[in-house]
Structures are given as structure tokens and as C-alpha cells.
Amino acid sequence: MSHQRHSNTSERRGNRLRTEMHIRRVQPDERETLGRITVEAYRDLERVTSLGPYEAELNDVAGRDRDSEVYVALDDKGALVGGVTYVPDAERSMSEFDDPEGAGIRMLAVDPACQGTGVGRALVETCIARARAQDRRRVILHSTPVMVKAQALYKRLDFQSAPEMDVWFTGEPCSASEPLHLIAFILSL
């Protein structure tokens, strides 16, 4: 996939905010920065100082990129402001689904200072475009209850809730008595 230029317009307090950005595959020298942004965004969302062992997975951008496809968003000054992992099929270790015609989205993260500017939408649209180009029939992702803004974005992009694919995660730092609810969403292509 070649470089893509996105021009996003979003409303914020009555003012029009225009954000120019480039979306492309992550480069090796950007992996550490994307890992940091991902951990920071998830900590900010969960309002915690640590995400336990999950932080290592969020930081492992190189591993995600070897397994799947990691895309980054760069602002008009070339600064990395977000990223996402596109999972091309169910055979990948990053897959959270077993649909042979599906593709997935994982670890969508936008620098907290840039949230609300269209970065997340551009990254999700890139994954949808990849799935269409690969003739996938569905895009599948999971969200958590605190990801309210992301879920609103998914709904605006026509993702539908798929409770039959929800997951209740009980591994560390969660437990059987306090599991993490992973809410499934599917976009039919």
C-alpha cells in the first residue's frame, strides 16, 4: 500500500478543525514511538498508571508488524500521532476471530493530545480499505466498555454490535470475579 493523504474535518465547539495527515506502514525507527503512544493512550483511557502484562504486547510493535500490518498516522509536520494493527485473516497470531472471510482491527491508538481530530477514523478507514482490497467479507474488532468514543466512531462507520462474539478476559490484571468485557463489532463489506 502506498502513502495515503487524508484530509479530515471534525467539529469541535463550533469551530471547524482541519487535520492533514499521511497514513502508511510503520517504519522500523517509528516502532518505539508507536509503542509509547499506544501504552499512553490505553493508560489514559483506563485511567491507570499500569496495564500490567498487556503493556508488553502494546509495546511490541515489531512483533505485531511481523505478524500482521501496522499502520501509522503522521500529521502535516511528519509527527507520528497514532497507529493501528490490521489483521488480514484468522490465521495470524494477532487474530481475535476465527472467521475465514474476516479481517481484524487491533490496538487502535491516538496520541491523547490529538484525539478528536480524525486520526482514529483515518486509521480505521485504512483498515477497511485493506480488507476490501483483499476481498474480505467482514472486519471484526473488540472494544472495552471505557472506549465510548471509539465505539461511537465504529457505529458511525456502520459497524454493528456482535454480542455472540464478545469475550470475557480473566487474565492478569483481571480475574474471574472482575473480568474485562471485550465487546465485539463487525462491519460487513
Q: What is the pLDDT of residues 85-96, one digit of tens each?
A: 999 999 999 999
In this structure, is residue 120 part of a structural domain? yes
Total tally of structural domains belonging to the chain? 1
Angstrom distances, CA of residue 114 to CA of 17, 24, 74, 98, 177: 11, 18, 11, 33, 35
In this structure, is residue 174 part of a structural domain? no
**Cα–Cα nearest to 137, from 106, 163, 103:** 103
pLDDT tens sequence across 113-165: 999 899 999 999 999 999 999 999 999 999 999 999 999 999 999 999 999 99
pTM over 0.85: yes
In this structure, is residue 121 part of a structural domain? yes
In this structure, is residue 189 part of a structural domain? no
Task: Give me the domain span that covers residue 80.
Answer: 4-137
Answer yes or no: are the C-beta atoms of 140 and 99 closer than 8 Å: yes
CATH assignment of the domain containing 125: 3.40.630.30
Predicted pLDDT of residue 32: 97
In this structure, is residue 151 part of a structural domain? no
- Distance (Å, whole) CA 11 – CA 31: 31
